[in-house]
Amino acid sequence: MELFTPDFGLVFWMFVAFGILFLVLWKFAWPVILKSVDERAELIDKGVEYAQQAKEQLDNARNEAQQYIAEARRQQADILREADKMKLQIIDEARSAAQTEAQKVMDNAKLQIEQQQKEAQQQFRNQVSDFALQVAGKIIGNELQNDKAQEKLVDSILDNMEDNK
Amino acid sequence: MRLLNRLTANILRSLLPVALVLVGTVAAHATAFDMDTVEKVPDNADSTVVAGINSAVAALDDSTPAVENVTPEEHAETAAEEEKSAINPKKIIFEHLLDGYGWEVPFDHHHRIPLPVIAYASDGLHCFSSAHLNHGAVYQDGDVTFTVGGDESKYPGKLVELVNGEEIRPWDFSITKNVCAVFICVLVVGGLMLWLASFKRRNGFKAPRKGLGAIEAVVAFVYDGVIKPILGPQAKRFAPYLMTVFFFILVMNLLGLIVIFPGGANLTGNIAVTLVLSICTFLATNVFAGKHYWKEIFWPDVPLWLKVPLPIMPVIEIFGMFTKPAALTIRLFANMMGGHMIVITLTLLIFIFSAISPVAGGGATVVSLLFSIFMLLIDTLVSFIQAYVFTMLSTIFIGLAQEGEEHKELEEDHGHVGKAIEDTLI
């Protein structure tokens, strides 16, 4: 049947035409087209990968930045606390220094006062013993020798009096 | 998904002209026949393919009054033998399905676009216009008389050399309608691909838009979807052949759906065309086959008794080498021819029913037209699917013949898919 009988002429021309088409496209078209299709696929793959990496990096960077900020805040707080502490300390130190200084001055003053008191007492004692000897001499009539022994006696009397007080 | 959408959109867009052309053809036939009420002659179809149509028509035959039919074309051929001629569905169908020496012009049954006839006859090469052979005319070129074989001839519809009243078939290298259509397809495919290539060369990574974008989408669809997954590292090597085959078949299929010049040639529905393509696949499979492939054929991994005294398995395997391309040939041929035949038959139904009564004719026109449009839509889809299937099966055959460890995986992964699709489509 003619429908199922391949026609010689058509087979011949088909071979020729298809052969030429194949050779031409094989040489001039397919390498370029297929290469571009491949390369574009690769480019897209790489692009996606790159975008993912970039996103990752961005996320990382954000995290890092947040970490840095938190760190800075902490340091700031630390520094502030430190400063506060230092301030109090300085004030304390100053206060204690002032106190000691004041104490010293007061002690000195007390010491001086005591000294002066003692000196005054001594002076007063000397005068009293003097007076007492003179008074006793006048009373006895005889001028008592203002010697050491008498003075000692008066002194001891005065001591006794002081002790009895 | 986007790719599919793009494809569908493009296919749908391409369908509009097809539908328009279809309407045009029906109109053309209608003008050719409308003056005459038509009677159908029961024809002695030896063709099993049209037997169904004929039997359907024969049932109507009793009620049909015998009226004259004056198709101009048929008049010329049959006027001598019979006053009352009729539509001969088999003849019309075959005229559309088979090759011819001229190319039909719409709305005109007298004239055809003349094509060169090239023949190597008994006395050497002859070359003349096919216009000399129109409607069975006899043409004297030099010392040799040529004509086209009539229905009773040993070579119906073919160029023959008349020697002492006997018909001898010369070596016929004529640029027939189909050959011319092959050339047109070559130009179209070559042009499109070189265009795409030059775009790529100029623009590098830039993606083309519109028409070129659609072509590139199909390229990527076939290359990334079929060739690369099946052939793997070998893809680069065989892709040029497979891509050429795919686009060549696709363009031939689609051009075949367009009824007027430069389309209308039933190319992929011609066994010569599909035969050549599958011979190419056969060569690509066997020439580049690895050692493994030949071992599988001559010393397959089966019990010894299956191959030693009687080489049962090797014989089966060798047979299988040839059934694969044969299946390729027949599948594409039968699918595309079937589609064409259905559309022609549907169109013919209009005239057959018109012969019964105008009302039946009117009804048949509407129904046939709707069915034809539906069939052409399906054929457009089939055009793509068949090109895809041919390419995919070629890829699988080539892939299976390639040596290496991937052989087994390939068989498992794609063998089933291929078989399944094969089974559904044939």
* Widest distance between CA atoms in chain B: 74
Lowest mean pLDDT among A24-38, B56-70, B85-99: B56-70
The bridge status of strand B159-163 relative to strand B166-168 is antiparallel
Residue B184 identity: I
Q: Is the pLDDT of residue B288 over 80?
A: yes
- The pair of three-digit structure tokens given for residue A39, joined into one six-digit string: 């390369």
Asked if the structure places residue A4 within a domain, the reply is no
CB pairs under 8 A between A and B: 131
Instruction: Round the average pLDDT of chain A to a whole number and report it.
Output: 88
Asked if the structure places residue A16 within a domain, the reply is no
- Most A-contacting residue of B201, B276, B281, B282 (CB-CB within 10 A), to test interface: B276
The closest of B418, B407, B408 to B290, measured between CA atoms, is B407
- Between the two ends of chain A, the Cα-to-Cα distance in Å is 167
Q: Is the pLDDT of residue B275 over 90?
A: yes
What distance in Å separates residue B174's CA from the closest CA in chain A? 7
Which residues of chain B have a CB within 8 Å of the CB of A28? 194, 197
Phi, psi (rounded to 5 degrees) for A17: -65, -45
**A161 interfaces chain B, CB cutoff of 8 Å:** no
Q: Each residue of B314-366: pLDDT tens digit?
A: 899 899 999 999 999 999 999 999 988 998 899 898 888 888 888 988 999 99
Q: Each residue of B166-205: pLDDT tens digit?
A: 888 888 899 999 999 999 999 999 999 999 999 988 987 7
What is the DSSP annotation of A102-125?
HHHHHHHHHHHHHHHHHHHHHHHH
Size of chain B in residues = 426
**Type and span of the H or E element at B284:** helix B271-287
The angle formed by the CA atoms of residues B255, B199 and B389, to the nearest 5 degrees, is: 40
Residue B132 identity: H
Asked if the structure places residue A22 within a domain, the reply is no
Asked if the structure places residue A3 within a domain, the reply is no
Residue of A nearest to B330 (CA): A4
Alpha carbons within 13 angstroms on the beta-carbon side of residue B169 total 14
Whole-number pLDDT of residue B27: 43
**A14 interfaces chain B, CB cutoff of 8 Å:** yes
- Cβ of B284: how many Cβ atoms within 10 Å? 20
Phi, psi (rounded to 5 degrees) for B83: -70, -50
Location of structure tokens 């970490």: A67
Domain count, chain A: 1
What distance in Å separates residue B319's CA from the closest CA in chain A? 21
**A15 interfaces chain B, CB cutoff of 8 Å:** yes
- pLDDT category of residue B76 using cuts at 50, 70 and 90: very low
**A98 interfaces chain B, CB cutoff of 8 Å:** no
What distance in Å separates residue A70's CA from the closest CA in chain B? 46
Contacts of B200 (CB under 8 A, 6+ apart): A32, A33, A35, A36
The closest of B140, B132, B160 to B148, measured between CA atoms, is B160
- Most B-contacting residue of A12, A16, A18, A39 (CB-CB within 10 A), to test interface: A18
Lowest mean pLDDT among A29-43, B23-37, B106-120, B401-415: B23-37
Whole-number pLDDT of residue B356: 87
Whole-number pLDDT of residue B62: 40
The bridge status of strand B144-148 relative to strand B159-163 is antiparallel
Range of the domain at A78: 29-164
Whole-number pLDDT of residue B370: 93
For residue B39, the 8-state DSSP code is: -
Whole-number pLDDT of residue B206: 80
Domain assignments of chain B as residue spans, ordered by start: 116-172, 177-425
Q: Is the pLDDT of residue B377 over 90?
A: yes
C-alpha dist (Å) from residue B70 to A111, B84, B111, B205: 159, 8, 16, 61
What is the DSSP annotation of A33-59?
HHHHHHHHHHHHHHHHHHHHHHHHHHH
- The pair of three-digit structure tokens given for residue B338, joined into one six-digit string: 């079937």
For residue B164, the 8-state DSSP code is: T
Asked if the structure places residue A52 within a domain, the reply is yes
Asked if the structure places residue A74 within a domain, the reply is yes
Q: Is the pLDDT of residue B129 over 60?
A: yes
Q: How far apart are CA B256 and CA B265, in angstroms?
A: 5
What is the DSSP annotation of A73-105?
HHHHHHHHHHHHHHHHHHHHHHHHHHHHHHHHH
Beta strand segments in B84-209, E? 102-105, 108-114, 116-121, 124-129, 139-141, 144-148, 159-163, 166-168, 171-172
Q: Is the pLDDT of residue B47 over 70?
A: no
Q: How far apart are CA B426 and CA B160, in angstroms?
A: 36
In the predicted model, what is the mean pLDDT of residues A25-44? 89
Asked if the structure places residue A126 within a domain, the reply is yes
Asked if the structure places residue A19 within a domain, the reply is no
The bridge status of strand B124-129 relative to strand B139-141 is unpaired
- pLDDT category of residue B240 using cuts at 50, 70 and 90: very high
Residue B393 identity: L
In the predicted model, what is the mean pLDDT of residues A120-145? 79
Cβ atoms B118, A16 nearer than 8 A = no
Contacts of B334 (CB under 8 A, 6+ apart): B426
Q: Each residue of A40-66: pLDDT tens digit?
A: 888 889 999 999 999 999 999 999 999
Which residues of chain B have a CB within 8 Å of the CB of A44? none
Q: How far apart are CA B280 and CA A154, in angstroms?
A: 157
B262: preceding bond cis by omega (within 30 degrees): yes
Q: How far apart are CA A164 and CA B187, in angstroms?
A: 151
Location of structure tokens 């004239």: B111
- The pair of three-digit structure tokens given for residue B349, joined into one six-digit string: 């139904």
Q: Is the pLDDT of residue B90 over 50?
A: yes
List residues bridging with B145 in a β-sheet.
B140, B162
B137 dihedral zone (left: phi>0; alpha: psi -120 to 50; beta): beta
- Cβ of B194: how many Cβ atoms within 10 Å? 16
Q: How far apart are CA B311 and CA A121, in angstroms?
A: 152
Whole-number pLDDT of residue B232: 86
The torsion angle over the Cα atoms of residues B253, B181, B341 and B21, rounded to 10 degrees, is: 80
CB contact under 8 A, B94 and A18: no
Instruction: Round the average pLDDT of chain B to a whole number and report it.
Output: 78
Q: How far apart are CA A29 and CA B216, in angstroms?
A: 12
Contacts of A59 (CB under 8 A, 6+ apart): none
Q: Each residue of B293-313: pLDDT tens digit?
A: 888 888 888 888 888 888 888
The closest of B196, B178, B189 to B269, measured between CA atoms, is B178
